[in-house]
Amino acid sequence: MPNFVEPPIESPASLEQAYGLLRDGDGRPWRPLAGGTDVMVQITGEIGEPPARLLDIWAIDELRGIHVEDGALLIGALTTYTAIRRSDEVAGLVPVLAEAAATIGAAQIQNRGTLGGNVVNASPAGDTLPVLLAVDAEFVLGSSDGERTVPARSFWTGYRQTARHDHELLLRVRIPLLSGREVRFRKVGTRRAQAISKVVMALSWRVDGDAWTDVRLGLGSIAATPVRAPATEAALEGQAPTREAADAAAAALSAEIHPIDDVRSTADYRRAVAGRVLHRLIRDNGGW
């Protein structure tokens, strides 16, 4: 049975109250608590030092909801996977995000786990993160100083490190909407439900005649952070999705990534699988 601690906790009802608490600098950092599906596991103290105090943001309804504004889809940080799967806006505009949400945990996790929690938890295996990289998402952070926006590609700065400051909350995820953008998602896990990914990937492109342009490849579980694969993107940019292009892209990817050995998989396996999954994905869309 886990040795359970009950850290001090505050549950502000508004952003303003939350910002005020985050500013109170008595030296003990606050750990925000959204759906708790990562934090409540961490507070058993089995994985590391439990948080000194918790800032439960679940009641801050301003952080929920999905809507379109200025050519972008805005998703509140507290939006759950279940809400993403049920959203007409997501289904119509960025269906790949609903597809990724459907692979996360099972009903119990999807009913509580939030997009913002996945982003800030910064696990290299976070399943929505490659998708957010592939669609050039931006993260809007807020504090009593105001708001600032950080692009996904510069948000994860190291293993479980982010560009968020301690006194900031993630407010929403902004996904720019591009006409003609296609996005595909693949997750290779161990079994269907509750699986932590061995390799997860999201590929996006726009079609220009026969060729693919604006190619983006986001990857998870193959480095200390979720990453883009620029050399592989360059190998695909301006190419039609032919067998030759797929061969070149898969080779570029295997050369570009430096996965690790861990309890879930080996580096060689991940490198081979990533190349193969990408090859297959290009083939599926090249019609050969």
Partner 1 sequence: MTFRFTVNGEPVEVKANGSRRLLDVLREDLALTGTKEGCGEGECGACSVLIDGDVVDACLVPVSQAQGTTVRTVEALAIDGRLNELQQAFLETGGAQCGICTPGMLMAGEAFLAGGAEPTDENIREAIAGNLCRCTGYTKIIEAIALAAQRRTDA
Binding site for ligand FAD (CB under 6 A): 31-39, 41, 57, 77, 104-105, 109, 112-114, 116-118, 120-121, 126-127, 169-170, 194-195
Q: Can you give 80-137 as a three-state secondary structure string?
A: EHHHHHHCHHHHHHCHHHHHHHHCCCCHHHHCCCEHHHHHHHCCCCCCCHHHHHHCCC
Return the one option of partner 1, ligand FAD, none that residue 19 interacts with (CB less than 5 to 8 A, by type).
Answer: none
Contact between 242 and partner 1 by CB under 8 A: the answer reads: no
Residue with smaller CB distance to partner 1, 47 or 255: 47
The radius of gyration computed from the CA coordinates of the chain, to the nearest angstrom, equals: 19
Binding-site member from 93, 98, 109, 234 for partner 1 (CB under 8 A): 109
- The tokens describing 179, both together, are 């006409």
Residue with smaller CB distance to ligand FAD, 143 or 254: 143
Query: Between residue 179 and residue 208, which ones bind partner 1 under the rule CB under 8 A?
Result: 192-194
Q: Contact 189/100 with Cβ under 8 angstroms?
A: no
Query: Between residue 3 and residue 42, which ones bind partner 1 under the rule CB under 8 A?
Result: 4, 6-11, 33, 35-37, 40-41
Residue with smaller CB distance to ligand FAD, 219 or 250: 219
Return the one option of ligand FAD, partner 1, none that residue 137 interacts with (CB less than 5 to 8 A, by type).
Answer: none
Integer distance in angstroms from the first to the last C-alpha of the chain? 53
* Max CA pair span of the chain: 62
Taking alpha carbons only, the member of 166, 168, 100, 167 closest to residue 140 is: 168
Q: What is the pattern of x (binds partner 1, CB under 8 A) and - over residues 81-100?
A: -x------------------
Residue with smaller CB distance to ligand FAD, 124 or 259: 124
Determine the residue with CB nearest ligand FAD: 117
Residue 160 beta carbon to partner 1: minimum distance, rounded to whole angstroms: 18
- Neighbouring CB atoms inside 10 A of 176's CB total 13
Taking alpha carbons only, the member of 22, 5, 108 closest to residue 60 is: 22
Q: Contact 225/155 with Cβ under 8 angstroms?
A: no
User: By CB neighbour count within 10 A (0-12 exposed, 13-18 middle, 19+ buried), where does 24 fall?
Assistant: exposed
Q: To which H or E segment does residue 172 belong?
A: strand 169-176
Stretch that binds partner 1, among 22-30, 53-61, 87-95, 236-244 (CB under 8 A): 53-61
Residue 11 beta carbon to ligand FAD: minimum distance, rounded to whole angstroms: 13
Contact between 56 and partner 1 by CB under 8 A: the answer reads: yes
DSSP 180: T
Return the one option of partner 1, ligand FAD, none that residue 32 interacts with (CB less than 5 to 8 A, by type).
Answer: ligand FAD
Return the one option of partner 1, ligand FAD, none that residue 118 interacts with (CB less than 5 to 8 A, by type).
Answer: ligand FAD
Helix (H, G, I), strand (E, B) or coil at 31: strand
Q: Which residues bind partner 1 (CB under 8 A)?
A: 1-2, 4, 6-11, 33, 35-37, 40-41, 43-44, 54, 56, 58-59, 82, 105-109, 111-112, 192-194
